[in-house]
A and B are shown apart, each in its own frame.
Chain A
Amino acid sequence: MSDKLKEQILRSSGSNVLKCMRCGKCSATCPSYDEMEYHPHQFVYMVEKGDIEKLMSSDSLYKCLTCFACVDRCPRGVEPAKVVEAVRLAAVRRQGNNHLVPTDIPGMLDDDLPQQAIVTAFRKYTK
């Protein structure tokens, strides 16, 4: 399972994690470092190890700003942000087609939320 997931993440990221030389420059340059449980260099390393479940259930996925500072500065061209994005994508895909479950909606409702936004969200996240 994990192997298949790893392969999917490597393919969708287009990144070769084996090129990483573990310098940690991605994490050194990351602006949301302190917000993250797993840091960019850990994403690269854990994907390489196939230790992806932890990443998928971590909030760190959504703390990455996709600012691409790590992509710009990585001396080996590993492009950590693309790895993070690929893991994020894998997590989204796992939810299946229905990203919005009707029974969950009342809890998310906000009085200030315009009606149109709810309709749009339905269109966008359900099938």
Chain B
Amino acid sequence: MQVNENTNFEPVIVAFCCNWCSYAGADLSGTNRLNYPTNVKIIRVPCSCRVNPMFILRAFQRGADGVILCGCHPGDCHYTSGNYFTRRRITLLYSMLDFLGIERDRTRLEWVSAAEGAKFAATMQEFTDAVRKLGPNRRLEDLRCRKQ
């Protein structure tokens, strides 16, 4: 089934970035004037392990079309081991999303260091394109929350 409104569809994308690596990486892509879509809005968290999978589900419930979680590279966590927790939690979340029938590609976990401004911009561009291709998130969105 083709959905016509896809043509003008602008996805809402929430990005959680850890304060020490990915948020700094996002700042660096700004400092280097590397362009990525305006669809991406960043929420700063101290560490990727602060992101409760609940936040991701909440975002989908409130109408986000994609959620990307960025943390320090494994072994580089400012808090030593936070990103390992994140990795396990997201793996578990994936199996739950599979169960719910949500496309896996709407959620992504990415390692971006403070020096990888270019990687941050490229990842966001690519993720936005991927979500745009998937179309709007309908399955998890709670229509009662939608603003009139």
Touching chains A and B, CB distance < 8 Å? no
A interface residue numbers (CB < 8 A to B): none
